[in-house]
Structure 1
Amino acid sequence: MIKWNNPNIILLILFILFSNSYGQNITQTVRGKVFDSDTKTPLSFANIMIRTTNPVLGAASDANGVFRIDMVPIGRHDIQVSYMGYETKVIPEILISSGKEVVLEVSLKEDIVKMDAVVVTAYTKKDKPINSMATVSARTFSVEEGRRYAGGFDDPGRLVASFSGVTTENTRDNTIIIRGNSPKGLLWRLEGVEISNPNHFANLGTFGGGGISALSALVMGNSDFFTGAFPAEYGNAMSGVFDINLRTGNNENHEHAVQLGTLGLDIASEGPLGKNSSASYLFNYRYSTMGLVKEFFPEDVKDFLPVYQDMSFKINMPTQKAGIFSVWGLASEDILSEKAETDSSLWEMAEDREDFDVIQQVMCLGLNHCYIMGENAYLRTSIAITGNYMKLKGRMLGYDLKRYEKEYTDNRNYKYTLTSVYNHKFSARHTNRTGFILDKIHYNTLLKHAPVLEQGIITVADEDGSSCLLQGYSQSKFWISKRLILNAGFHYQHFDLSSESVFEPRVGLSFNLRKAQTISLAYGKHSRLEPLMLYFAKVNENGIGHQS
């Protein structure tokens, strides 16, 4: 008779069970959608192949352009997507893990060179921008690729510093400096809408930068980053454009993630909205590490620890005939205090004598609608409300060790935005994109400053009102030949507050030499509004603020 309480028998059974489980291959599902890059129409019966598996796995897209490949081994794989009459695209080194499905949105460009039974194809580079109108100084920013860089903290601002012509001011912030231009010249867009600087502790050190991004890498999708001569649809920008997309949540399975790291607590959730619905949600919330542990610090320390939190979401709602609706949002809050050094013998810089309290908030809420109009056109419309708030109180110790008011800022800005763009593909050789952007801007600005520390603080600006910014554009892409591409268009901008209008021509030319070599040349005239508070500040002939 076998004694089941024998330790050797128990160890043998555990070994057999472990060996069986270890021998099983861990797999995951890869699925997504294939569509035309110019018209957004789905491509049915496209061929999708995972080239790095043995045997090779593959599938074909259905009538809606949707494909699904099950039982894909985990690891990094190259995925090839091809369709008759279109350029073949290879997406290299896609990370497939056991805990999360891979959902892809693959856009293909129509090939202009066709023969009866032969299609000339070109392999797309992995960093090719999503925007089909881009000519030069543009590339895709992939969150998955960016995570490979050490010290990036999953922060887009730090990760793009590895791109050509881009650097940061220092390692303490994520300021983006493009070819020596001011960081405040960068245009931030989220889901096609211009937003305020989406960074925690933004503009405290340098206009345009911040401490860390308010967007978690868990919600960001592939985005475009431009470093100059950008297409005509981008206005109110000088140095560059960061066009950020939120990814669409999983519409088949619920997935949840909780992680605790250097930046803090990060909670994410996504999944379908209903059992038989193709709609999905994506949600993320973060709270800073310092906020979690501040109660363990002494009373004289914990009040001066930086605390931040942010929340972002996207709800995607496709319909059968009315197009695709999506609701998205972002909100963040920062609290920061600094205390002056009271021992004057330790003063080395003016900052050692300063203390301040600051509260910042950023908010964005939008509704997007994309309607496919036949096989050659689409109309995309967005309405949104975006805004920011900053309250700062600054003081400085005098040489008599008394605290004097140095500065005070109470700045509230918000705007309503309406954008609409119509994209029409006339032929394989010509695509046009025309649209407008209307911003109704509301502002409430109070600035105070002490020109001489001991003489008290004076009001530099005190304004409350509203204005309009109107932008319009049109651009066309011409395939002159298989290798030669011309992008041409214009951007128009009118600002009511200053009663000024700007006409900005844009043109780009690209010539493909070989499979991986391209010569590109582009020109663009660009302009950007200054922060509104600068329009209202009153200064004297010495550049010092005076009573308004």
Structure 2
Amino acid sequence: MKKLASGILLVLSTIAHSQSLTQTIKGQITDEQSGSPIIGATVQILGSSPPMGGITDVDGFFKIEKVPIGRQTLGISYLGYESITIPDILVGAGKEVVMNAKLIESLQQLDEVVVTSENQEKGQPRNELATISAISLGMDEISRFPATFDDPARAALTYAGVQTGGDDLLNEIVIRGNSPKGILWRLEGVEIPNPNHFTAIGSSAGGISMLSNNMLANSDFFTGAFPAQYGNATSGIFDLQLRQGNFDNHEHAIQAGLLGVAAASEGPLSKSKRASYLFNYRYSTLALLTELGLDILGEEEDITFQDLSYKVRIPTKKLGSFSFWGLGGRNTYQFIPNESSDNWENDVESQNTGAAGVTNVFYVNEDSFFETIISGSYNQLMSNYDSLDVLTLESSDFIETQMRFSTYFNHKFSARHTMRVGTVLSRLGYNLSNTYWNRQERQFVTPLDEDDHAGFYQVFGNWQYRTSDQFTLNSGLHFSHFAINGKTYVEPRLGFKWDRGSHIISGGIGMHSRMETIALYTARQYLEDGSYVQNNKDLGFTQAFHSALGFEKMLKPKLRFKAEVYYQHLFNVPIWPNDTTSDYRLLTFSTLNTLDGYTTDELANDGTGKNYGVELTLEKFLTNGFYMLSTASLYRSKYTGSDGVERSTQFDGGYIYNFLTGKEFKVGKSGNNTLSLNGKLIFAGGKRQAPINIVASINEGHTIYRYDENYDLKLDGYFRMDFGISYRKNRKRTTSVISLDIQNLTQRENEFFRYYNVGQRRIESDSQVSFFPNLSYRIEF
């Protein structure tokens, strides 16, 4: 009988254990201004019964064990600091949760600190110098939002003022009517090349991101009025951060989907020193299937890509912490017609991209630290296009290298005053070649053949002044110098945030600038005697004045309303010189309408532009498994070319509306598993192009556009519905997720551009991709 009773108790114990899966939450709490660890801070799992929590140690680290899986809210408090809460933390059985946070020192002497859920950290940027037009992209959100495909750029489409660049095959985004070329990509605090597969020279986008959300920590996304720390951007900034690997336990993940097969691993290098590693590798599923003998695309096409990213962090006692990080990607596209093909063109494109660096954070004392980064990058784009249909042959090989030394010093004088000053020294190397067959002159032309380097130097200073717990003022200055032509830019910045308790008012103004691609500055135009000139070597940067004013209010717990109005004036924009042509295609040209590429023709910094609008956001934080995000934007985007006429840019759609919602259901006998349904709607005004001259098109036998009315024609409005469904299953030591994401569920054919069909003798439209699914399976252990 005793053996039977013992057996029953054992079974019941096992069942009870299986019904209460748990995991560990850990992290580090630091001072927001100085970066120093906060010792003795209280960290609690809000709403837990019995109460669960921990206290930070001498290095600011905490650990809370046996936290029930599911969504949890973290409350953090410390005497003399403002308390915060971090809601909706997803706790799974397969991986420990690392949650780092920063506290702001209070200017009032507090007798007692009470943790509440009012001061939400959700969506607040990591950079404490940002006051407006900035959000934090959470990696949980990127994986939750439908049809993002683990891509930060596609995830940004959900937020106010952001829309697609006009081609759903690419992750191009338009921010407040600006060209996507004005976006800056940063990784681990330093500028990097465009981190996307299948890109083009001068582009900021591509088909697939090289960075997986397996690697990313919460990262900042800016849509305007950037702090003085940032330069070389006029449209937006992705300031991406790689997360730290688990320094206590080894954890792994394997993921397979229609886009790629990936493996990730992380763990301790030295538990006593909290040293860790983290890496992720991915290989194209299409390429893998082709190697196995399954030709999905057909014999004429071949698509291959792979990428690797890593971070190794090694803290030391005397020299601070060192992080060794990197990102690399390769991809190839080939179209080679077979003997029976009607398409007599051969197109081969390939890309090799890499960035690596070492970051050192050294604390002088509890109020001061240096952050120093030495990095290098390499970006090669090769193409070869051969067509018998149009009798052309073109080949190019663009190689750009960047060596950077970046450092800044941060000092907290008091709870009111913080200073940050720094510099970025860049050596921009380039080896650029481009050759094509000129049919008219029946000879090869080489518009690019350059192998050299140039310097780009930046210096910045920020001063943060807090008059009270409610009002913060950030002022700064950014200085840039481009050695290739000696151009210098001085850019003052100013931002404020006023927390009235019931609502927040914020604002920012500043000057900003952005260089063109190196190929544009070095391109050659050949003269009749065989000599050449570099028309654009002295071309300046595009400059922009940004201003924005914002209002934010919590309407009720976990329901936030935000509004922003903005005005941007762009000047020194490269356009066609106004006295050299009567061709309206050139008279209406502006780089504000370009997506990539370069030109050998002479340009002048005489163009202007402006963007203005209002953005509204209503966000329901995740509550009882339900969340909602609704954004609406009304805007205009204008430019002036060399003819002096103000026109709409091609991105002047006029309006954007996004609606995102989702619901999580606890399923299974013990409620340990989760079924998630997510949906997104996008309504936006169509892009613009020149109207078609029907009579001239009929007479000439091909499409003739009316460039004297450039961008007057507005394409049909853009509509897209995305859908995602996933099932998360937690076991004792593993978490598995199967998910299906569908882009453009309704298969709507959004207009790409219009043209004249000679055979049909009518105007027709080419459409964007109508439907794209991605099925994937992931296991964490």
Residue 353 of structure 2 is aligned to residue 366 of structure 1 = no
One-letter amino acid matched to 1:369: N
Residue 63 of structure 2 is aligned to residue 68 of structure 1 = yes
> 1:261 Cα deviation (Å)?
1.0
In structure 2, the CA distance between the partners of 1:279 and 1:125, relative to structure 1 (3 Å rule), is closer
Residue 284 of structure 2 is aligned to residue 267 of structure 1 = no
Residue 372 of structure 2 is aligned to residue 384 of structure 1 = no
Specify the SS of the correspondent of 1:144. Answer: helix
CA distance in 1, matches of 2:271, 2:135: 38
> 1:111 Cα deviation (Å)?
1.5
The residue that corresponds to 1:491 in the other structure is 478
The residue that corresponds to 2:496 in the other structure is 509
> Which has the higher mean CA deviation after the structures are superposed, 504-513 or 98-107?
504-513
> Which has the higher mean CA deviation after the structures are superposed, 299-308 or 411-420?
299-308
Residue 433 of structure 2 is aligned to residue 442 of structure 1 = no
> 1:396 Cα deviation (Å)?
2.5
> 1:353 Cα deviation (Å)?
6.6
CA distance in 2, matches of 1:486, 1:304: 55
One-letter amino acid matched to 1:465: D
Specify the SS of the correspondent of 2:144. Answer: coil
The residue that corresponds to 1:173 in the other structure is 170
- For 1:197-276, what aligned pairs fall within 5 Å after superposition? 197-203=194-200, 207-274=203-270, 276=272
Q: Which has the higher strand share?
A: 2
Specify the SS of the correspondent of 2:157. Answer: helix
In structure 2, the CA distance between the partners of 1:453 and 1:219, relative to structure 1 (3 Å rule), is farther
CA distance in 2, matches of 1:179, 1:353: 41
Deviations 1:404-441 (A, max 9, x none): 31x22111111210001001111111111100000011
Deviations 1:304-347 (A, max 9, x none): 22110000110000111211111001110011113469999x8x
CA distance in 2, matches of 1:294, 1:273: 37
CA distance in 1, matches of 2:21, 2:250: 19
TM-score (norm 1): 0.90
One-letter amino acid matched to 2:173: I
- For 1:288-303, what aligned pairs fall within 5 Å after superposition? 288-295=284-291, 296-297=293-294, 301-302=298-299
Deviations 1:79-100 (A, max 9, x none): 1111111111111100000000
CA distance in 2, matches of 1:191, 1:69: 28
The residue that corresponds to 2:98 in the other structure is 103
Deviations 1:223-260 (A, max 9, x none): 11111111001011111111000000011101111111
Select which of 80, 87, 91 maps to 1:85: 80
In structure 2, the CA distance between the partners of 1:39 and 1:75, relative to structure 1 (3 Å rule), is same
In structure 2, the CA distance between the partners of 1:279 and 1:100, relative to structure 1 (3 Å rule), is same
One-letter amino acid matched to 1:441: L
The residue that corresponds to 1:142 in the other structure is 138
Residue 384 of structure 2 is aligned to residue 393 of structure 1 = yes
One-letter amino acid matched to 2:26: R
CA distance in 1, matches of 2:121, 2:92: 23
One-letter amino acid matched to 1:529: M
> Which has the higher mean CA deviation after the structures are superposed, 492-501 or 118-127?
118-127
> 1:280 Cα deviation (Å)?
0.5
Deviations 1:267-308 (A, max 9, x none): 101111145442110011000111110132459935622110
In structure 2, the CA distance between the partners of 1:222 and 1:299, relative to structure 1 (3 Å rule), is closer
CA distance in 2, matches of 1:316, 1:57: 29
Work out the percentage of aligned pairs sharing the same amino acid: 40
Contact 1:335 1:358 in 2 (8 A): yes
CA distance in 2, matches of 1:154, 1:120: 33
Specify the SS of the correspondent of 2:102. Answer: strand
Contact 1:325 1:367 in 2 (8 A): yes
CA distance in 2, matches of 1:159, 1:255: 26
CA distance in 2, matches of 1:72, 1:21: 15
Deviations 1:504-544 (A, max 9, x none): 111112222334x3222211111111111111223486788
Deviations 1:188-243 (A, max 9, x none): 11101110000011227x82110011011111111111111110010111111110
Unaligned runs of 5+ in 2: 1-6, 527-579, 587-598, 602-781
One-letter amino acid matched to 1:301: G
Contact 2:84 2:115 in 1 (8 A): no
> 1:359 Cα deviation (Å)?
1.1
Contact 1:85 1:119 in 2 (8 A): no
CA distance in 1, matches of 2:322, 2:206: 32
Select which of 315, 318, 333 maps to 1:336: 333
In structure 2, the CA distance between the partners of 1:237 and 1:353, relative to structure 1 (3 Å rule), is farther
Residue 158 of structure 2 is aligned to residue 158 of structure 1 = no
In structure 2, the CA distance between the partners of 1:275 and 1:224, relative to structure 1 (3 Å rule), is closer
- For 1:15-26, what aligned pairs fall within 5 Å after superposition? 20=15, 23-26=18-21
CA distance in 1, matches of 2:339, 2:507: 57
Report the count of equivalent residues.
523
Specify the SS of the correspondent of 1:525. Answer: strand
Contact 1:219 1:246 in 2 (8 A): yes
> 1:372 Cα deviation (Å)?
1.2
In structure 2, the CA distance between the partners of 1:75 and 1:458, relative to structure 1 (3 Å rule), is same
CA distance in 1, matches of 2:163, 2:15: 51
In structure 2, the CA distance between the partners of 1:376 and 1:290, relative to structure 1 (3 Å rule), is same
The residue that corresponds to 1:520 in the other structure is 506
Select which of 51, 55, 59 maps to 2:54: 59
In structure 2, the CA distance between the partners of 1:116 and 1:50, relative to structure 1 (3 Å rule), is closer
In structure 2, the CA distance between the partners of 1:423 and 1:77, relative to structure 1 (3 Å rule), is same
CA distance in 2, matches of 1:457, 1:89: 65
Contact 2:247 2:269 in 1 (8 A): yes
One-letter amino acid matched to 2:400: N
> Which has the higher mean CA deviation after the structures are superposed, 359-368 or 116-125?
116-125
Contact 2:392 2:438 in 1 (8 A): no
In structure 2, the CA distance between the partners of 1:230 and 1:300, relative to structure 1 (3 Å rule), is closer
Contact 2:82 2:104 in 1 (8 A): yes
- For 1:406-425, what aligned pairs fall within 5 Å after superposition? 407-425=394-412
Residue 123 of structure 2 is aligned to residue 127 of structure 1 = yes
Select which of 537, 540, 543 maps to 2:523: 537
CA distance in 2, matches of 1:256, 1:373: 36
> Which has the higher mean CA deviation after the structures are superposed, 274-283 or 210-219?
274-283
